[in-house]
A and B are shown apart, each in its own frame.
Chain A
Amino acid sequence: MNITDFIKKIETEIDEFEAGTLNPDTDLRKTTAWTSMHALIIIALIDTEYNVTITGEDLRTITSIEDLYNIIQSRIAV
């Protein structure tokens, strides 16, 4: 797993994000397309792909895709 693949997966899963528009610094919640429904889609994606649970609290604290990626990495490692 690397962050480029992770970003591609998000862009594939969420139609509102065109391929190539997201980068590690992107704060998903500050994008114009973001709605609360996307939180569930991201959680389901991460659960299915990496078997990692992301909580509501996690989503409130992160400010970039990289933050989210690091959370996943740390939980896979455990």
Chain B
Amino acid sequence: MAYLTIENIQLSAIAACVPKNRESNAHYDWISEKERDLLIKTTGIEYRRIAPKQITTSDMCFASAEALINELNIDRKEIEVVIFVSQSPDFFLPATSIILQDKLQLSKTTMAFDIQLGCSGYVYGLSVISSLMNNGKFKKGLLLVGDKSSFSPSKKDKSTYPIFGDAGTATLLEYDPFAQKMDFNLQSDGSGYKAIIIPDGGMRNPYSDESDKMIETSPGIIRNRKNLMLDGIEVFNFSLREAAPNIFNLLKYNKTEINEYDFFVFHQANKLMNESIRKKLKVEPDKVPYSLQKYGNTSSASIPLTIVTELADKLKNSKAEVILSAFGVGLSWASAALTLNKLKCLPLIEIE
């Protein structure tokens, strides 16, 4: 069982960046008005931010990281590790984190690598960077997390196009012997790998003439094999089945009760799914923030983006016990229990 307890690391600041360009699901004219209304009501997604061609995930993460460094007056030399978590890297190779090391003018003694995860990526990334920092007594670390999910869905696929929005974030972690511990429960199930997939373009299925062929797979869904494909019912049932027990097991592991936590920040999948999970946990609605309505499902960026846009004021002067829970593509899912102590959140950054 992948339970982890990590000491001495404080999650001290978060910045998030979205593209200025906003799309409204009320104008998604591939489906009828009636279907649009139901989509918005059920998923809770009204708007999404969509990056133009020239803006990548790493640009949004860079803007977030630069803002953190400048606003908090961070000595760049003290950043000893940078990890980029994304499924929309700048290139097949090299790893984007290494390009960011240079762009952020970090020392050549900085450790840098990428983690290729989506929805679950923030919690996974947090566990990896915190473990490394604790082991090496690294002064500071940057966890850069996000996706330009809009690069892959077909506009004629109602099951993906109106769901995803783009965002890139930066989280600052610091070595602090007085920090409260963090606890993690990390899981995976590759038998469901086809539930959320871009079938072609990797080594398993290189691009071919077939890749561009648009196929109507069901009413309202026309896509090709380069497009993101999502089996809605499969993913929905997976999340209903796994997310709550993963949290309950974490609480058993760290011997705490659900009512000891102030906030539950979920991956922003869709409103119906997240509300079903909230009800399973028997948590009050005011402890479960949503950024879905304004930004859609922002993949791995969803947890830090939600903290920045929905919880910044509530967290800035206080100590809060928080559960983070993320689930999706892989299939991969994880939760974390941690203490946020006067967390600094920068105002949301918009770039164009």
Residues of A within 8 A of B (CB): 16, 35-41, 43-44, 47-48, 53-56, 59
* Contact of B220 with A44 in the complex, beta carbons under 8 Å: no
Query: In the complex the two chains form, is B231's CB within 8 Å of A56's CB?
Result: yes
B241 near A35 with CB under 8 A, answer no
Number of B residues with CB within 8 Å of any CB on chain A = 22
> Does B39 sit at the interface, judged by CB under 8 A?
yes
Contacts of B236 in A (CB 8 A): 40, 43-44
Nearest-neighbour CB distance to chain A for B148, whole angstroms, equals 26
Which 9 A-B pairs rank lowest in CB-CB distance, beginning with the nearest?
A56-B233, A44-B276, A47-B240, A37-B42, A37-B38, A44-B272, A35-B35, A40-B236, A53-B237
> Chain B residues near A39 (CB, 8 Å)?
232-233
A36 touches B159 (CB 8 A): yes
For B42, give its contact among A40, A53, A59 (CB under 8 Å).
A40
Question: In this assembly, does B218 line the interface, its C-beta being within 8 Å of a C-beta of chain A?
Answer: yes
B195 vs chain A, min Cβ distance (A): 11
CA gap between A16 and B348 in the complex, in Å: 38
Q: Which residue on chain A has the smallest CB distance to residue B237?
A: A53
Are A41 and B234 in contact (CB-based, < 8 A)?
no
Cβ A43 vs Cβ B237 within 8 A: yes
Q: Interface 1/0s, chain B 219-254, versus A by CB < 8 A?
A: 110000000000111101100110000000000000
Interface of A is mostly: helix
With a CB–CB cut-off of 8 A, which chain A residues contact B38?
16, 35, 37-38
Q: How far is the CB of B121 from chain A (nearest CB, A)?
A: 24
Do A41 and B240 contact each other (CB < 8 Å), given the known contacts A35-B35, A35-B38? no
Across the interface, do A53 and B241 meet the contact criterion of CB distance under 8 Å?
yes
B279 within 8 A of A: yes
Q: A-contacting residues of B (Cβ < 8 Å)?
A: 35, 38-39, 42, 158-159, 218-220, 231-234, 236-237, 240-241, 272-273, 276, 279-280
**B218 to A48, Cβ gap below 8 A?**
no
A-B contact pairs, 21 of them (CB 8 A): A16-B38, A35-B35, A36-B232, A37-B38, A37-B39, A40-B232, A40-B233, A40-B272, A43-B233, A43-B236, A44-B272, A44-B273, A44-B276, A47-B276, A48-B276, A48-B279, A53-B237, A53-B241, A54-B237, A55-B233, A56-B234
A77 to B290, CA, bound (A): 36
B35 and A37 form a contact (CB under 8 A) = yes
**A38→B220 CA distance, assembly (Å):** 14
Q: Which residue of A lies closest to B39 (CB)?
A: A37
Q: Please determine whether A36 and B218 come into contact, CB atoms closer than 8 angstroms.
A: yes
Q: Which residues of B contact A54 (CB under 8 A)?
A: 237
C-alpha spacing A59/B279, complex, angstroms:
24
Chain B interface, DSSP helix/strand/loop, else mixed: helix
Question: Provided the pairs A53-B237, A55-B233, A55-B237 are in contact, do residues A41 and B276 lie with their beta carbons within 8 angstroms?
Answer: no
Contacts of A59 in B (CB 8 A): 233
In the complex, what residues of B have CB within 8 A of residue A36's CB? Answer: 158-159, 218-220, 232
**Contacts of A16 on B, CB cut-off 8 Å?**
38
Q: Which residues of A contact B39 (CB under 8 A)?
A: 37
Chain A residues whose C-beta falls within 8 Å of the C-beta of B159 in the assembled complex = 36
Complex: A44 Cα to B42 Cα, angstroms: 11
B237 to chain A: which residues have CB within 8 Å?
Answer: 43, 53-55
- The CA-CA distance from A16 to B39 in the complex, in Å, is 13
Within 8 Å CB of A38, what residues of B? Answer: 38
Residues of B within 8 A of A37 (CB): 35, 38-39, 42
- The answer for the CA separation of A44 and B274 in the assembled complex, in Å, is 10
Q: How far is the CB of B288 from chain A (nearest CB, A)?
A: 15
Q: Which residues of B contact A43 (CB under 8 A)?
A: 233, 236-237, 240
Q: Give me 9 other A-B pairs in contact (C-beta within 8 A), A36-B158, A37-B38, A40-B236 excluded.
A: A16-B38, A35-B35, A35-B38, A36-B232, A37-B39, A37-B42, A40-B272, A48-B280, A54-B237
Nearest neighbor of A57 in chain B, beta-carbon distance: B233
Output the nearest chain B residue to A39 by Cβ-Cβ distance: B233
Q: Are A41 and B218 in contact (CB under 8 A)?
A: no
